[in-house]
Structure 1
Amino acid sequence: MTGPWPAVLAAVLALALSPPASANAPADPARAWLARSSPIVAADQAGRSVHVLRGDQSRWDADGEDRGVLWSWSADGQDELSDLDPDSTWTNPSEAKLRERGGRRYLLATASGGLAAVIGYPDRRVYWAADTGSGNTHSIELLPDGNVAVAASTGGYVRLYAASLGSRATEHTQLDLPGAHGVHWDPHTRLLWALGSRELVALRVDGPSDDPGLTVLHRITLPTRQGHDLAAVAGSPGRLWVTTASAVYQFATKQRRFVSYPLQSRVSAPDVKSIGDDPVTGQILVARPEPGHACAWCTSTLTLYQPDGRRTLLHGAMYKARWWAVGAR
């Protein structure tokens, strides 16, 4: 084993085996390392909210005093979104991402009920929002020109909305993609990647921003079926995380092939809803359904690797969770 991990693991073991340090003792190096962790953003279906959570805290409580919740957003009760009927369209929040454009940061969020939104962080101002319909919207992406892509699973499509035209712009182009679950803009290839049930596709964005088009450049058959999550590998630019109903893969965009990766034998598992590595520490974050949870596709506990750990949202029903860090794109 090379790199910082032996030192980190040695510090963790030393903490477990040694007596409590005095108040004047130097800070523990393992705790100092954990304090560098990026925050985590989670789509919580129980609370109909998106929470930004402390990455170095093992338990969070969205309703308690020592909450560990840094910031939250919900479409419920937002007068600015009342025309989009959040009571029905904000059902089952399904995606949450951090993106940056023009020096501003945004929360990107979708819900299975059809709402898709780009919300200013931390001011919560709505950049763009739309009711995408009953296609089970599962993922969203903000493009450099200000337009917004969404993927809908039962709808079987990827749409590119001309969001640069205004906060309620509904003009869009659509590409059919059965089982569409993930969409991701890759600044390295300058392509929009989309994940369906059986294939990963690379899309070129054509035309002006007020009338965009999509052209399929590459179609790659998935190693196993039912593609689900699609995200950048922060520690390896030019690679994408790809999950299916059976496994977790990494895909090299330049070579256009699936490749092996460190910890694959431990990280790869069925039904992973989201995965990503922290661009600050390299730690891997996984959201996977929790056996016995009241929501069959949700979890109250997230799993981390290298170093290993768990993070629990009390009374939560998280669907996807990601590192709240710009480098995670």
Structure 2
Amino acid sequence: MSLGLGAPTASALPVRPGWAVVVVDQGSRSVLLLQSAEELMAYRGPGRLPVVWSWSADRAADLADLTPAHSWSMPDEAKSRVRGGRRYLLTTASGGLVAVVDTATGGTYWAADTGGANPHSVELLPDGNVAVAASAGGWVRLYAASRGPRSAVHAVYPLKGAHGVQWDGRTRLLWAVGDDELTALRVGGTPAAPVLTAARSIPLPEPGGHDLAPVLAAPGRFWVSTAGHLWQFDPAGGRFTRVRFADEAAERDIKSVGDEPGTGRLLTAAPDHAGACSWCTSVLALHGPDGARTLRGTQLYKARWWASWSG
């Protein structure tokens, strides 16, 4: 089956805002941008996937120095961020690679190889610096990426099982989720020499923190997934509220979650235990209205709305 990897290159990527879906496919070692949810729901397979654009470190000549054959193994994150009028793909891989890619040119704004730290999420801050959460490393780092495309200068905050990281432009806090806690970090110092300090830390309602994403329909709140359930967190009240699905099994082990701008429809990805790896899926789940699509031949880890959210 063709995965559509012959789709338009970065230079042909549509620049209009649209709620397409971006997925990380470990099978093809690629980030795939799929058509809008409506078009995706009409996909019946098992033919060519509805791929609009794709990117892989394996095909990025400017990343050759970071040995993507090794560092790009098991890609596990993809986000859309807009800074200075430009849209960037933010991506990580369990093999160690972290990259921020200009989607208009396909060129890399900044990248690093974190070795065996198992980076799981990344965030682009307004000053151009890049935050990374790494589960095996047990840390959140804030890289001074504004200094250059391979800047290794960073601040670090230890966080057991760090899996998700998210900038909140309203409070100017960097939030991170680990195995057992949700932590808000204050960014100090200068862009060239950043400093991270804890502003507050809140215990999770249950272990196994994984994904952290903004609730676009309720600015200031966050989606937080744990091993057993999905939650919405309100920093103002310091409260977690459980999000319930019709099928409780769909609440378990969610790797990524997010609400579609305008509609509030949720998109989640969780292992389907039917493929080549126990942590992957070929199914994208939509909630409110509910629906699912099986993208045969894929080994997906995360799926997110390709929204031009700038934090």
TM-score by length of 2: 0.89
2:26 is equivalent to residue 45 of structure 1: yes
How many angstroms does 1:312 deviate by?
2.6
Matched residues in 1 for 2:310 and 2:235: separation? 16
Q: Which residue of the other structure, out of 141, 158, 170, is the alignment partner of 1:176? A: 158
1:187 is matched with: 169
Question: Are the counterparts in 2 of residues 233 and 239 from structure 1 also a CA contact under 8 Å?
Answer: yes
Matched residues in 1 for 2:143 and 2:171: separation? 21
1:233 is matched with: 215
Q: Deviations over 1:73-100 (max 9, x none)?
A: 0000322100000000000001000000
Q: Which residue of the other structure, out of 238, 257, 267, is the alignment partner of 1:256? A: 238
Of 279-288 and 149-158, more deviation after overlay is shown by 279-288
User: CA 1:60–1:214 in structure 2 vs 1: closer, same or farther (change >3 Å)?
Assistant: farther
Matched residues in 1 for 2:71 and 2:220: separation? 35
Question: Aligned partner of 2:163: which letter?
Answer: H
2:191 is matched with: 209
Matched residues in 2 for 1:127 and 1:60: separation? 36
Q: Which residue of the other structure, out of 44, 48, 63, is the alignment partner of 1:81? A: 63
Question: Are the counterparts in 2 of residues 40 and 321 from structure 1 also a CA contact under 8 Å?
Answer: yes
Question: Aligned partner of 1:94: which letter?
Answer: D
Partner secondary structure for residue 224 of structure 1 = coil
User: CA 1:38–1:328 in structure 2 vs 1: closer, same or farther (change >3 Å)?
Assistant: farther
User: CA 1:213–1:60 in structure 2 vs 1: closer, same or farther (change >3 Å)?
Assistant: farther
Q: Which residue of the other structure, out of 111, 117, 127, is the alignment partner of 2:109? A: 127
2:70 is equivalent to residue 67 of structure 1: no
Of 225-234 and 119-128, more deviation after overlay is shown by 119-128
Matched residues in 2 for 1:77 and 1:107: separation? 15
Identity among equivalent pairs (%): 53
Partner secondary structure for residue 167 of structure 1 = coil
2:296 is equivalent to residue 322 of structure 1: no
- The CA RMSD measured in Å over matched residues stands at 1.9
Matched residues in 1 for 2:168 and 2:293: separation? 29
Q: Which residue of the other structure, out of 73, 87, 93, is the alignment partner of 1:111? A: 93
Partner secondary structure for residue 64 of structure 2 = helix
Matched residues in 2 for 1:96 and 1:321: separation? 8
Matched residues in 2 for 1:233 and 1:251: separation? 9
How many angstroms does 1:320 deviate by?
0.6
How many angstroms does 1:122 deviate by?
3.1
User: CA 1:297–1:60 in structure 2 vs 1: closer, same or farther (change >3 Å)?
Assistant: farther
Partner secondary structure for residue 326 of structure 1 = coil
Which of these two proteins has the greater Rg computed from alpha carbons?
Answer: 1
Q: Deviations over 1:199-243 (max 9, x none)?
A: 000000001100000010101000000100000011111110000
1:152 is matched with: 134
Alignment of 1:90-109 (within 5 A): 90-109=72-91
2:271 is equivalent to residue 280 of structure 1: no
Matched residues in 1 for 2:191 and 2:68: separation? 28
Question: Are the counterparts in 2 of residues 248 and 269 from structure 1 also a CA contact under 8 Å?
Answer: yes
Question: Are the counterparts in 1 of residues 245 and 251 from structure 2 also a CA contact under 8 Å?
Answer: no
Unaligned segments of structure 1, at least 5 residues = 1-35
Question: Are the counterparts in 1 of residues 273 and 279 from structure 2 also a CA contact under 8 Å?
Answer: no
Matched residues in 2 for 1:328 and 1:293: separation? 34
Matched residues in 1 for 2:204 and 2:178: separation? 9
Alignment: residue pair count? 291
How many angstroms does 1:67 deviate by?
3.3
Matched residues in 2 for 1:274 and 1:282: separation? 15
Matched residues in 1 for 2:105 and 2:293: separation? 27
Matched residues in 2 for 1:144 and 1:151: separation? 18
Question: Aligned partner of 2:214: which letter?
Answer: A
Unaligned segments of structure 2, at least 5 residues = 1-16
2:199 is equivalent to residue 199 of structure 1: no
How many angstroms does 1:328 deviate by?
8.3
Of 186-195 and 265-274, more deviation after overlay is shown by 265-274
Question: Are the counterparts in 1 of residues 121 and 134 from structure 2 also a CA contact under 8 Å?
Answer: yes
Partner secondary structure for residue 117 of structure 2 = coil
Matched residues in 1 for 2:283 and 2:277: separation? 13
